[in-house]
Chains A and B, each alone.
Chain A
Amino acid sequence: MTANILAIFYLISGVLFILALRGLSSPETSRRGNFFGIIGMAIAVSVTILSVGNFSTGFLYLIVFLLVGGSIGAFIAFKIPMTAMPELVAGFHSLVGLAAVFVAISAFLNPEVFGLGTVGSIKIASLIEMSLGASIGAITFTGSIIAFLKLRGIMSGSPITFWGQHYLNLLLGLSLVGLIYYLCVTQSNNLFWTIIAISFLVGILLIVPIGGADMPVVISMLNSYSGWAAAGIGFTLENSALIITGALVGSSGAILSYIMCKGMNRSFFNVILGGWGATEESNKSSSKEQKPVKSGNSDDAAFLMKNASSVIIVPGYGMAVAQAQHALREMVDALKKNGVKVTYAIHPVAGRMPGHMNVLLAEANVPYDEVFELEEINNDFANCDVAYVIGANDVTNPVAKSDPQSPIYGMPILDVEKSKSVLFVKRSLSPGYAGIDNDLFYRDNTLMLFADAKKMTEDIIKSL
Chain B
Amino acid sequence: MEIDPFIFRLSIFILSIFVGYYVVWSVTPSLHTPLMSVTNAISSVIIVGAIIAALAGDNIKIFEVSNIFGFLAIILAAINIFGGFLVTQRMLAMYKKKKKDK
Binding site for B on A (CB under 8 A): 10, 13-14, 17-18, 20-22, 24-27, 30-31, 33-34, 37-38, 40-41, 44-45, 48-49, 52, 54, 56-59, 61-62, 65-74, 76-78, 80, 82, 85, 88-89, 92-93, 95-96, 98-100, 102-103, 105-107, 109-110, 113-114, 125, 219-220, 223, 226-227, 230-231, 233-253, 255-256, 259, 336, 346, 348, 353-356, 358-359, 362-363, 365, 367-371, 373
Contact = CB atoms under 8 A, between A and B. Distances in A.
Contacts of A365: 94, 96
Contact of B35 (A21, A233, A235, A336): A21
A370 B36 contact: no
Given A99-B76, A252-B39, A367-B97, A106 B53 contact: yes
Nearest to A109: B66
A6 B20 CA distance: 23
B80 A251 contact: no
Given A24-B34, A30-B95, A255-B25, A237 B49 contact: yes
Interface residues of B, number: 85
A99 B46 contact: yes
Nearest 7 CB-CB pairs, A to B?
A: A69-B78, A355-B32, A73-B83, A73-B82, A247-B16, A354-B32, A106-B53
B38 A95 contact: no
Contacts of A57: 59, 62
Nearest to A375: B29
Main secondary structure of the interface of A (DSSP, over half): helix
Nearest to A126: B6
21 contacts: A18-B19, A21-B27, A24-B35, A37-B88, A52-B55, A62-B54, A68-B75, A89-B40, A96-B40, A98-B73, A99-B44, A99-B76, A109-B66, A113-B66, A114-B49, A244-B16, A246-B43, A248-B39, A251-B17, A251-B21, A373-B29
A102 B29 contact: no
A88 B80 CA distance: 10
Q: Which applies to chain B's interface (DSSP): helix, strand, loop or mixed?
A: helix
A460 to B, nearest CB: 20
A226 B96 contact: no
Contact of A250 (B20, B59, B86): B20
Given A17-B42, A69-B75, 14 more contacts: A37-B38, A41-B44, A41-B81, A41-B85, A72-B83, A80-B87, A89-B37, A99-B46, A102-B73, A105-B69, A109-B65, A358-B33, A359-B34, A365-B96
Contacts of A45: 47-48, 51
Contact of B48 (A44, A70, A358): A44
A56 B38 CA distance: 33
A17 B40 CA distance: 11
A80 B30 CA distance: 20
